[in-house]
Structure 1
Amino acid sequence: MTTGPVLFTPRLLLRLPEPQDFDGWAAMCADPDTMRFLGGAMVREAAWRDFALRRGAWDVRGFSMFSVIERATGAWVGRIGPWQPEGWPGTEVGWGVHPAFAGRGYAHEAAVACMDYAVDVLGWADVIHTIDPANTRSIALAERLGSRDRGPVRLPAPLAHFTVHAWGQRAGEWRARRA
């Protein structure tokens, strides 16, 4: 069913979300700890709308979150990738990982591939990550990617009440780090 780009890392495959990914997606979205900084836990029906939104953005924008798949097992790991809905404060590479796969370095591995994709394929001159200041795990990942805290930004409705900072870097900074 995948009709878009497929990225490979040593341990992961990144591709468009497919119907068989939904159970893992819904389980991640139902976890209160995982979703604490991603809009809150969702019931299965709300997770379906989120899933369809991310898949649909591929058709509307030409990019969106990838489903991240563990190559060794075929298991759904999370969703990571380029993201910029209408009114978003910048071109973002964002992430969310199923709790069963947290702490294994998968978010970093996939985020590096997505940063490369955003800069080299999409041609983005700048990449941000919108992160709640209390989300220390995401801040650590942003720092590991070489991004810096640029200060508070405002998300569009219905997310305008969330407190987030834009962590980011220019494409040239990313390329220099990768060299």
Structure 2
Amino acid sequence: MKTEDIRIETERLVLRLPRIEDFDRYAELHADEGAMKFLGGPLPRASAWRKFLQMPGAWQVQGFAMFSVVEKDSGLWLGQLGPWRPEGWPGNEVGWVFHPDAHGRGYATEAGAAAMDWAFANLGWSDVIHCIDPGNVASQRVAERLGSRNKGPGKLPPPSEDHPIDVWGQTREQWLARRASEKAGA
């Protein structure tokens, strides 16, 4: 399967590669001070454009990156979520960032489970981490709902080496056991 054909559907969401039409909402998200509080602060539109191009580039070069998360019924771009491993990163991350109007609706957990299933099935990863600012309680709750636990402080590579993070995560075996338990209980 070619990367541009990758598409994951959940009950309410579509996870797909980023497209140019995602950029306006992406720029809104990255300009929002509250949404960017734990991710380096807000960005002007021109800087957001350069950052936006990271994910399509990573898809092209690495064969994986964060997905655009889109509401299935409306087609509204909600955020980015998925596998991410830049040079020098502390591990195989499944990370997320969502537009403020998408917060509190369970989208990150729903998309996160689908992306973790995809990453474990397609990337050969033995574990997954989430790099979360110690003050970002909302993201900590998402990590917990996905079954990850706080493994303690970590360090990002430059230029983000001074940004505090805790590394949350779990092994492939822990994830697969959790998913099997969920299916047995359903």
TM-score scaled by length of structure 1: 0.97
User: Following the alignment from structure 1 to structure 2, what is the Cα–Cα distance between the partners of residues 49 and 77?
Assistant: 19
The yes-or-no answer on 1:71 pairing with 2:72 is yes
Q: Match of 2:133? A: 132
Q: Secondary structure at the match of 1:60?
A: helix
Shift of 1:3: 1.4
State the distance in 2 between where 1:38 and 1:93 align. Answer: 15
Q: CA deviation at 1:92?
A: 0.1
Any idea what SS the aligned residue of 2:35 has?
helix
TM-superposed CA distance for 1:74, in Å, is 0.4
Q: Deviation digits for residues 83-125 of structure 1, max 9, x if unmatched?
A: 0000000000000000011111111110000110111111210
- The residue type equivalent to 1:141 in the other structure is V
Shift of 1:70: 0.4
SS across alignment from 1:156: coil
Matched residue SS, 1:35: coil
| Cα distance in 2 for residues equivalent to 1:144 and 1:88 | 23
Q: 2:89 — aligned with what?
A: 88
Deviation per CA, 1:12-67, whole angstroms, max 9, x where unpaired? 00001000000010000011111111121111011101110111100111100100
Q: Which residue of 2 aligns with 1:26?
A: 27
Deviates further, 76-85 or 32-41: 32-41
Please state if 1:118 is matched with 2:129.
no
Which residue does 1:44 correspond to in 2?
A: 45
**5+ long unaligned stretches in structure 1:** none
SS in 2 for 1:165: strand
CA distance in structure 2 between the partners assigned to 1:144 and 1:131 by the alignment: 14
SS at match of 1:3: helix
Matched, 1:163 2:149: no
* AA aligned opposite 2:138: R
The code of the aligned residue for 1:160 comes to: E
Counterpart position of 2:58: 57
Partner SS state of residue 87, structure 2: coil
1: CA distance between counterparts of 2:11 and 2:39?
A: 27
Identity of aligned residues (%): 54
* SS of structure 1 residue aligned to 2:79: strand
Two-structure CA RMSD over aligned residues (Å)? 0.9
The alignment partner of 1:46 has SS state of: helix
Quick one: which amino acid aligns to residue 69 of structure 1?
Answer: V
| CA distance in 2 between partners of 1:134 and 1:118 (Å) | 27
Q: Distance in 2 between matches of 1:77 and 1:123?
A: 27
Alignment length (residue pairs)? 178
* Unpaired stretches in structure 2, ≥5 consecutive residues: 181-186
Q: CA deviation at 1:4?
A: 3.9
Bigger drift between 84-93 and 31-40 goes to: 31-40
